[in-house]
Structures are given as C-alpha cells and as structure tokens.
Amino acid sequence: MGFGEIMGGVGVMKSLFWMTKTLGKNFFRDRQSLFSSLAVPLVFLLIFGFMYAEQTTGPREPVLGVYADESFTDLDIINEVFQNNRGLRFAYYEEKGDIERSVVNRETSFGLVLEQTELTFLFNPILIQQNAHFEEMARGIKASFERAKAGVSDVIVIERTTLTLPGQEGFSPLEYILPGTIAIAVVSSGLFAITGVYLTFLEKGVLRRMAATPLRKEIFFLGLIFTRLVVAVFGAGLIILVGRIIFNFTPTINLTFFIPYVMVSTLLMMALGVLITLVFKKRENANQFAGFLVTVMIFFSGIYLPVEFLPDYLQQISRFLPLTHVASGLRGTMGIEPLVFSEYFLNIAGMLIISTFLLIFVAWRSKWGENRF
C-alpha cells in the first residue's frame, strides 16, 4: 500500500469521524427526533408496565362484593367459608342492586350473588384481562362452599409450577415486555433515521450543498448509520435503566450478544426505511407510513398483547414482521428466553446481509440533486 493510499484512508476516516460527530450533534439538538426515539418508548414502558403489574395478577387486594339472598340454602356456612379465605376482602351488601352498582362503579372487583342453590359470579366486562383471575377466585369459593356443606376435603390437589428454562432466571410478565419495548425503540430509531433525517436533509437541500463539497455520499451514509447505532444502544440502556429504577427489573443481559443484536436490528430497520423511501417520495408521507407500520408491528408482534387472542389467519402476520423477530432475539440476549446460538447467528447474518445490500443500494443510487434516483 503506497503512502498516498494510506493518507487517503486516513482522510476518509477523518471525514467519517467528523460526519458522525456532526450528525450526532444534530440528533441531540433535534429535540423532535430525540423525543421520538427515546421518550416515546419510555412512555410506552411506563404505561404498559404499570398496567401489566395489575392486570396479570389482579389487584393487590381484590374486594369481593357479596350478596346472599335469604333463599340461599347454606347461609350458615357463609361465614365459615369466608373465614377460610382470609386472603380476600369482602364487602357485604343488603340489596342485589347495590352489589351490581358496586361492580359497575368498580368499588368491588367482582360480585358473588348467592341465591337458592346457586352462586353467580358477577363481573364487569371492561376489566378484560383481570376477569379470568377473578373467575378462578369465584370458582374456588364455590368449591369451598360445596366442601363445607358436604363436610369433605379436596381429593385432588393442584400444584402450579412455573417452568424456568436453562439459562433463565425467573422473570415476571413485566420483564417479558422490557425487550419488546427496547425493540420498539430500535425499530423507531432505525426507521425514522431514513424517513425522517435523510429525507429532511434531501428536501431542505442540505445534501445538494454537501454534493458541492469533496464529501463522498458513502461517508454521509456511514455517518448516519454510526450515529443511529449509538443512539439505539443508548436508548436501550436508558430503557433498561428506567425499568430497573421504577419496576426493579434485573434481567441478566449478555452484552456480547445484546449490543451487536441491537445494532444489527437498527441497521435492518434503516434498510426498511430505505424501502419506504423508494415508494414515498415526500418526507411527510414516508414518516406517516413509517408511523403506521410501527403501530401495526406493535399490535401484531405480541409485545404487549398476546397474538393468540387474534383469529388464526391474523396470527400468521406476526411471523413476517421484523419487530417480532427483533423482540424475540432481544429476549434471548436478555435471559428472558433461551438463547439458541445457531438461531442467533443465522438471524444476525440474515439481517446484516439484507440491510447492507439495501443501504449500499441507496447510497449508490441516490442523487443529492432534485431527482431522487
């Protein structure tokens, strides 16, 4: 390698360093981008984090409304049964209408109406994710009534155990959504880097002015990529930190695999952003479509809502969404799910190939003048 080539290489590295630094400063000065990339995922984490804390286990102290009609044949065992269920709080109502109102107004978590030889589980339909838990409690109380009445005890006892897979430590439903939230941040960061930053520069004529300088297009794109990779890793760290402070999340993160996966996922989403710009020429439209895509992916990727609730034909959509695979990979590197190395490396390789190809394509074909390609 000759002296000229070496100096040329040093020059390129210097350009790349300054480009990355400039774009990095631009990112932190652009509060809109900063907010979209960092604050929005945090907002999601806080909202859904607190929601999951209550909805998956039920309220910390559910209050059961109880109404016993005089016709109920086992009035004498009511006290015995409720005394044996000391973990629950009961509120007794004299009138049936009162217990219904209490359930509607959410003064009580659910109601038990005891009439003749029947126990009615009265539930509020809008407590969608808690009602299964409440029904289980109601059926348990019904079983207690029957046992007490017959003077028998359980024959079959159920042991509920949770499976912790090798390489995992125990985690809660809250911790399950943390990698998904990081995945959303990665996806947003990568996608909007192209549909937002790149197209903004293009439309404002910044790139046209850069084209008049010796700066090479490839340097600009590399700078953009490096900036976003750093932002993605920073955003992931911020989400983990907030999760630790507020929700006491303590996942076991394998940094050796976690950081590269965050970076390659960001690259993949930038590549997806490139595809979007091939269709939508205006920044506003590209951004709107990117936002629409992120919304679709959030719902269909199973991060906050189980896709099993969807009809079968819609569940298949989940397999084709990048966010599903990004979230799954991150769960593996954070100890939430087992990390299968062959799958990990295959995913990384696949994402890297697709994203490199697309990004090189846009860097090569893009013209920094009026016409895009």
* Residues in region 9-68 near another protein by CB under 8 A: 31-32, 35-36, 39-40, 43-44, 46-47, 50-51, 53-56, 59-60
Beta strands 89-92 and 110-115, pairing class: unpaired
Min. distance of Cβ 16 from another protein in angstroms? 29
Q: Does 311 bind another protein (CB under 8 A)?
A: yes
Q: Does 127 bind another protein (CB under 8 A)?
A: yes
Q: Does 247 bind another protein (CB under 8 A)?
A: no
Residue 90 bridge partners (DSSP):
64
Min. distance of Cβ 159 from another protein in angstroms? 5
The CA distance from 198 to 193, in Å, is: 7
Q: Does 75 bind another protein (CB under 8 A)?
A: no
Burial of 1 (0-12, 13-18, 19+ CB in 10 A): exposed
Min. distance of Cβ 213 from another protein in angstroms? 27
Q: Does 128 bind another protein (CB under 8 A)?
A: yes
Q: Does 289 bind another protein (CB under 8 A)?
A: yes
**Residue from 14, 21, 25, 139 binding another protein (CB under 8 A):** 139
Q: Please work out, in degrees rounded to the nearest 5, the angle formed at the alpha carbon of residue 221 by the alpha carbons of 259 and 30.
A: 80
Which residues have CB under 8 Å from 256's CB, separation 6+? Answer: none
The CA distance from 350 to 271, in Å, is: 12
The CA distance from 47 to 55, in Å, is: 12
Q: Does 120 bind another protein (CB under 8 A)?
A: yes
Q: Does 175 bind another protein (CB under 8 A)?
A: yes
Min. distance of Cβ 54 from another protein in angstroms? 4
**Residue from 118, 203, 319, 367 binding another protein (CB under 8 A):** 118
Beta strands 89-92 and 63-68, pairing class: parallel
Nearer to another protein, 321 or 363 (CB): 321
Min. distance of Cβ 102 from another protein in angstroms? 9
Secondary element (H or E) of residue 110: strand 110-115
Q: Does 346 bind another protein (CB under 8 A)?
A: no
* CB atoms closer than 10 angstroms to residue 213: 8
Q: Phi and psi of 162, rounded to 5°?
A: -110, 140
From 266-274, 295-303, 353-361, 362-370, span contacting another protein (CB under 8 A) = 295-303
Joined tokens for residue 48: 């859904």
From 150-158, 198-206, 223-231, 268-276, span contacting another protein (CB under 8 A) = 150-158
Note whether 41 and 181 are within 8 A (CB).
yes
Min. distance of Cβ 109 from another protein in angstroms? 9
Min. distance of Cβ 151 from another protein in angstroms? 9
Full 3-state SS string of 198-233: HHHHHHCCHHHHHHCCCCCHHHHHHHHHHHHHHHHH
The CA distance from 373 to 368, in Å, is: 9
Q: Does 70 bind another protein (CB under 8 A)?
A: no
Q: Does 353 bind another protein (CB under 8 A)?
A: no
From 96-104, 210-218, 221-229, 254-262, span contacting another protein (CB under 8 A) = 96-104
Sign of the dihedral defined by the CA atoms of residues 64, 68, 74, 77, in that order? positive
**Residue from 92, 309, 345, 357 binding another protein (CB under 8 A):** 309
